[in-house]
A and B are shown apart, each in its own frame.
Chain A
């Protein structure tokens, strides 16, 4: 489907890329951090 070619759309479109990848990376880091702390015995609270 065609999408508009104006600054509002473009702004959020590129922001969307950042979020979709950023949220994934943040989640992966959270999971790594959780495992790291869990090994120390305090992953959950």
Chain B
């Protein structure tokens, strides 16, 4: 039985007594500290893999087994230098792999920390905000709409809350809870606000006990791109194994030394297959996620980076994201004989600053900005009647320099009724009110009278609005440059939405959500039908045609009124979906939007083939955030919205999201470049070695050389995640076919270049085989990373952005190390001297330049869907790669 069950039937007083807490002051910090030691953190501990397991896991599995077998075989034939080098490869592979995983785990930990939930708790008599993991039994906490209940609690505050417990109990409908009820950790507050006492934390909660038995570190979800790359990787492994198997059979038939052959076959397989590919992709994303975090964008799952890079429509909240979420005074209007200063001073006198009313704050700010705030001290507020929805105005009696005045401010219609406006003044007054309303301003009227007067004298009108953020326009332009269409989403009325859209240059096509739902449109069919039937009935009743028509019209009006309040059943006549999709696609923004409409908008845009980003903050936004390809919880969003989102913003504004798009596309670019390079490498190694041995009966390199090459290849892997790449000007989507076509042509060019040098060495200069092997080794070592430079950008390799220094240093140093080994031999291979080394540098580095033109030619042909390059021309391969 969970602890919470024991408290179900206990009264609030009993609970407080047992938990030794106080509703007025909460726990003291010392007591909380003591209880934290006793009960532990309020979290479900993840089962972390022990360090020794993480280390030794690297030596267990098909790839390590192959390397280990090769090492044992080397020892058996007493080739000790080979044995040492193979063991070094095994260790280097393990270290690189461990480092990659460590990097990814650390990044995920940092992200998790940034996503830590907070709770408002009463400690030492003060309400403070702490991480939920520090909550202890006995803590008094506040629960409000959108919160995820942080622990099992007993409700002790007055009032009701609506709780969604569906994730825990399976109840599909939210349940109402009141004082004395219990609430489980991880349920979501859908409505209301209350105070609660923590009863159980961490593993002692109902949720904790449920998951305790299966607690384990959650595996990071893979993105589509990773899935596809892994599929291609597996395909290449099969190809490599087939080629190696054929080679082994052919060589056995030729009577080759069995142990030597097995050793060679094993190391060739290890060197050719893209073992590190999945790990490199994960690390590239993890390092990228940290870059995003620096820009205040927290990724809740790494795979979301791919979706962020592909977003082509962003539905952005207006308030707080595009606008400042702060009311501001626009251009006030005064009646003749009054100054703007007087209007604003009177408005302030009819307010109470300490109430922090969002409508009144801008008035005081305006006065401060104009240096008039001190003039308020000349007056004294004698009485104040606050705003209420029935009177729709405030009223204050003030004394200024010995003169008494009654000042009121409120809704323009109400103030006009109380005033002595002349006919002409009234006309001007309402024309201005209308003009402000058309622009979406909230308007306050201000009037005053002397205590003995009956009617008020109107001073003027104050238009208020939530202005756009300074950076919104620039961010919108940047989004446009990046090929992302931003659609504004707001709950405000259509006039405000249009005005803000005009200010920001979003476009003027703002659609009301009511129109989207097709409410009035859907009546049309009903109304036509009603009219026809009503007219027919009247005619049957013996009315004349004209009379029947008139009566039918009245029936239609009544039906229309009824239908407005009647939710139409599912399947009722609605707009055709394609019509709605068109409307949504063409709209620049949506007004009068409810959270449910957001889900509707995302759904329709997705049906039109868009990758949709959607922002949200409230508890009811959660379904839309989940539905969107990239759900974005904006700054200060509720726990529920944050839990549902892929990205959580820690800073307000659209600029953060646009920065996110750029970084995500760069991460995508790095992954794509490395994938092209690694697939091309596999084609190059396996193609060249396999063909040389099977058809030309020559071992172009020795087993030890392959191992050294594999070692040299491991080093630059570490630098890929930090490379500088070009940001795609358009949303990116993975195109595995494009990657495979590019890799195929670059890999094939590598095979041709290797055969060309082999031909020269063998038939033109007729060098001995051991020298040829060293020179080929040199060629492979120097040329290898050239493909990485080719794959980095789809432009000439000398164009900007240039590679990061770390990538250059890694590739240059491995070339130099490879060269030194080839030049001096170090008892591992036949030394060939600097003459041949320089020749190889000249030969090998000419090829990346040639490949550069091949790459651009293939890319151009691919984009233009020309023969032999575009999808559809390799149907079998397309099936394999795009399945």
Interface set of A (CB-CB < 8 Å, partner B) = 1-4, 8-9, 11-20, 23-24, 26-27, 30-31, 33-34, 44-45
Greatest chain A CB density within 10 A among B291, B663, B801 is at B801
Task: Collect the chain A residues with CB atoms within 8 Å of residue B846's CB.
Answer: 12, 15
Task: Collect the chain B residues with CB atoms within 8 Å of residue A45's CB.
Answer: 662-663, 666, 724-725, 727, 801
Residue B832 CB within 8 A of the other chain:
yes
A11 to chain B, nearest CB (A): 7
Q: A19-B842, A45-B725 are in contact. Are A13 and B835 (CB under 8 A)?
A: yes
* Complex alpha-carbon distance, A12 and B768, angstroms: 21
Residue B451 CB within 8 A of the other chain:
no
B448 to chain A, nearest CB (A): 54
Which residue of A has the minimal Cβ distance to B816? Answer: A20
Contact partner of A13 among B727, B801, B808, B842, CB < 8 A? B842
* Complex alpha-carbon distance, A19 and B722, angstroms: 25
Does A3 lie within 8 Å of B839, measured CB to CB? yes
Question: What are 5 A-B pairs at a CB distance below 8 A?
Answer: A1-B832, A1-B833, A3-B836, A15-B841, A27-B805
* Complex alpha-carbon distance, A8 and B765, angstroms: 11
Task: Collect the chain B residues with CB atoms within 8 Å of residue A3's CB.
Answer: 833, 835-836, 839
Q: A24-B812, A30-B803, A34-B804 are in contact. Are A16 and B837 (CB under 8 A)?
A: yes
* Complex alpha-carbon distance, A11 and B845, angstroms: 13
Task: Collect the chain B residues with CB atoms within 8 Å of residue A26's CB.
Answer: 808
Contact partner of B842 among A1, A2, A11, A31, CB < 8 A? A11
Which residue of B has the minimal Cβ distance to A20? Answer: B841
Residue B831 CB within 8 A of the other chain:
yes
Task: Collect the chain B residues with CB atoms within 8 Å of residue A33's CB.
Answer: 802
Does A27 lie within 8 Å of B809, measured CB to CB? yes
* Complex alpha-carbon distance, A24 and B167, angstroms: 59
* Complex alpha-carbon distance, A9 and B767, angstroms: 13
Which residue of A has the minimal Cβ distance to B760? Answer: A8
Task: Collect the chain B residues with CB atoms within 8 Å of residue A2's CB.
Answer: 835
* Complex alpha-carbon distance, A11 and B837, angstroms: 13
A15 to chain B, nearest CB (A): 3
Does A34 lie within 8 Å of B833, measured CB to CB? no
* In the complex, per-residue mask of B725-753: 1 if CB is within 8 Å of any chain A CB, else 0: 10100000000000000000000000000
Which residue of A has the minimal Cβ distance to B764? Answer: A8
The SS class assigned to the A binding surface is: helix
B724 to chain A, nearest CB (A): 5
Residue B840 CB within 8 A of the other chain:
yes
Does A12 lie within 8 Å of B839, measured CB to CB? yes
Does A16 lie within 8 Å of B841, measured CB to CB? yes
Interface set of B (CB-CB < 8 Å, partner A) = 291, 662-663, 666, 722, 724-725, 727, 760, 764-765, 771, 801-805, 808-809, 812, 815, 831-833, 835-843, 845-846
Q: A1-B771, A1-B831, A1-B836 are in contact. Are A30 and B808 (CB under 8 A)?
A: yes
Task: Collect the chain B residues with CB atoms within 8 Å of residue A24's CB.
Answer: 812
Does A4 lie within 8 Å of B765, measured CB to CB? yes
Does B838 lie within 8 Å of A13, measured CB to CB? yes
The SS class assigned to the B binding surface is: helix
Does A44 lie within 8 Å of B724, measured CB to CB? yes
Task: Collect the chain A residues with CB atoms within 8 Å of residue B724's CB.
Answer: 34, 44-45
Task: Collect the chain A residues with CB atoms within 8 Å of residue B809's CB.
Answer: 27, 31
* Complex alpha-carbon distance, A18 and B849, angstroms: 14
Which residue of A has the minimal Cβ distance to B841? Answer: A16
Greatest chain B CB density within 10 A among A14, A17, A19 is at A19
B40 to chain A, nearest CB (A): 40
Task: Collect the chain A residues with CB atoms within 8 Å of residue B836's CB.
Answer: 1, 3
Task: Collect the chain A residues with CB atoms within 8 Å of residue B812's CB.
Answer: 23-24, 27
Contact partner of A17 among B722, B808, B838, B843, CB < 8 A? B838
Task: Collect the chain B residues with CB atoms within 8 Å of residue A44's CB.
Answer: 291, 722, 724, 804
Does A16 lie within 8 Å of B839, measured CB to CB? yes
Does A20 lie within 8 Å of B838, measured CB to CB? yes
Which residue of B has the minimal Cβ distance to A17? Answer: B838
Task: Collect the chain A residues with CB atoms within 8 Å of residue B805's CB.
Answer: 27, 30-31, 34
Q: Which 10 A-B pairs have the closest CB atoms?
A: A15-B842, A12-B842, A16-B838, A16-B842, A16-B841, A3-B835, A31-B805, A27-B808, A1-B833, A19-B845
Task: Collect the chain A residues with CB atoms within 8 Å of residue B725's CB.
Answer: 45
Task: Collect the chain A residues with CB atoms within 8 Å of residue B291's CB.
Answer: 44
A41 to chain B, nearest CB (A): 11
Which residue of B has the minimal Cβ distance to A11? Answer: B842
Q: A4-B765, A12-B839, A45-B801 are in contact. Are A31 and B833 (CB under 8 A)?
A: no
Which residue of A has the minimal Cβ distance to B662? Answer: A45
Task: Collect the chain A residues with CB atoms within 8 Å of residue B839's CB.
Answer: 3, 9, 12-13, 16
A21 to chain B, nearest CB (A): 10
A43 to chain B, nearest CB (A): 8
Task: Collect the chain B residues with CB atoms within 8 Å of residue A34's CB.
Answer: 724, 804-805
Assuming A13-B838, A23-B812, A34-B805, what are 7 further A-B pairs, CB within 8 angstroms?
A3-B836, A4-B765, A8-B760, A15-B842, A15-B843, A16-B843, A45-B662
Which residue of B has the minimal Cβ distance to A15? Answer: B842
Task: Collect the chain A residues with CB atoms within 8 Å of residue B662's CB.
Answer: 45
Task: Collect the chain B residues with CB atoms within 8 Å of residue A18's CB.
Answer: 842
Task: Collect the chain B residues with CB atoms within 8 Å of residue A1's CB.
Answer: 771, 831-833, 835-836
Does A23 lie within 8 Å of B842, measured CB to CB? no
* Complex alpha-carbon distance, A18 and B841, angstroms: 9
Does B771 lie within 8 Å of A12, measured CB to CB? no
